Amino acid sequence: MIEEPRSEEQSVEVPDVLLDQFVEFHRPDVRLDELAVFDTLPAGHKGAFREWIESLAFTIIFVLIFTSYVAQATQVPTESMKATILVGDHFFLDKVTFPANYPTVIRPYLPHRSVKRLDIIAFKSPTDGNIPFVKRVIGLPGDTLEVRSKAVYVNGNKLDEPYKIHVDSTTYSPDPWTP
């Protein structure tokens, strides 16, 4: 239906509700009172459930990438580092500085360094890959290690170990139930 252009003197009554939502058109043949008003969501709007699912999926993916390649929270399972690190202590493993899990193509671009003597490192147990071992590095490739009278010697030199604590087993009863 094509109408003749209206003169300036003609007026059309339009409800206020449409004027608030009116977008100027560049088509003179469309009358304001012919526009339909629909109560719909704006284009591109997602429902609350979909937004929740997308947020959850993003969070899971982020955590998986973060714990695989950046840092991983872990807990000390044994007393082998007692006095320095206690059983149950929580800490983060740095996976960027020691990029063993990264593809070899990416490794040259990462800020990495070699393992040094006295570093505390974590690695998977050889018997159970789910248990992390937390140990102090005292020997490096090519070193000769000796233990004499509770002292560690690296390449013939006594290692200064201010962190170590020796417990004399003779002060304890061999049977823990003996009074």
Could you tell me where the beta strands, DSSP code E, fall in 1-85? 71-75
Measured at the alpha carbon of residue 50, what is the angle toward residues 63 and 48, in degrees to the nearest 5? 110
Question: What's the whole-model pTM score?
Answer: 0.52
CB-CB contact of 20 with 39 (8 Å): no
What pLDDT score does 26 carry?
54
**How far apart (Å, rounded) are the C-alpha atoms in residues 97 and 39?**
55
Q: Which CATH number fits domain 48-171: 2.30.110, 2.60.40, 2.10.109, 2.60.120?
A: 2.10.109
pLDDT in tens for each of the 179 residues of the chain?
555 555 555 666 655 555 545 555 555 566 656 656 555 666 666 788 888 999 999 999 999 988 877 888 888 777 777 777 888 888 888 777 776 667 778 777 777 778 888 888 887 788 887 777 888 888 899 999 998 888 889 999 998 887 777 666 655 555 554 44
Burial group, residue 60, by CB count within 10 angstroms (0-12, 13-18, 19+): exposed
Active site residue 80: yes
What pLDDT score does 131 carry?
75
What pLDDT score does 31 carry?
63
**How far apart (Å, rounded) are the C-alpha atoms in residues 159 and 157?**
6
Selected catalytic residue, list 80, 82, 124, 158: 80
